[in-house]
Amino acid sequence: MSPTINATDTVRLGTAPHTQNVVTAHLEDHLLVAGPTGAPAHQILTNYARQAHHAGAQVEVLDYTGQLADRVTDLPTRVGARHVFIGIDDFTDRALSRLEAISTASVDAAYSGPPRLLVLNGLPQMMRRGPHDTDVQDAVDALQALLHISRHTGSTLAADFDLPTAQLVPQFGEDMTVLAQPGTSDSLLQTLGIRPGILSDHPGAAALRPPGAPGRAVILDCP
pLDDT tens digits, one per residue of 80-98: 445 565 566 666 666 667 6
Q: Is residue 4 domain-resident?
A: no
What is the per-residue pLDDT across 166-191, written as a single tens digit (0 to 9) for each? 766 656 556 788 999 999 999 888 88
Q: Is residue 1 domain-resident?
A: no
What is the per-residue pLDDT across 17-72, written as a single tens digit (0 to 9) for each? 989 999 998 888 888 898 887 778 888 998 988 888 888 887 878 777 777 777 87
Q: Is residue 187 domain-resident?
A: yes
Tell me, what CATH number does 103's domain have? 3.40.50.300
Residue 154 CB neighbour total at 10 angstroms = 22
* CB distance 182 to 33 below 8 Å: no
Q: What's the total number of domains in the chain? A: 1
Q: Is residue 2 domain-resident?
A: no
Domain range for 141: 10-220
pTM value? 0.80
Q: Is residue 3 domain-resident?
A: no
CA 34 – CA 110 distance, rounded (Å)? 34
**Element containing residue 103 per DSSP (H, E):** helix 87-103
CA 10 – CA 183 distance, rounded (Å)? 25
Q: Is residue 77 domain-resident?
A: yes
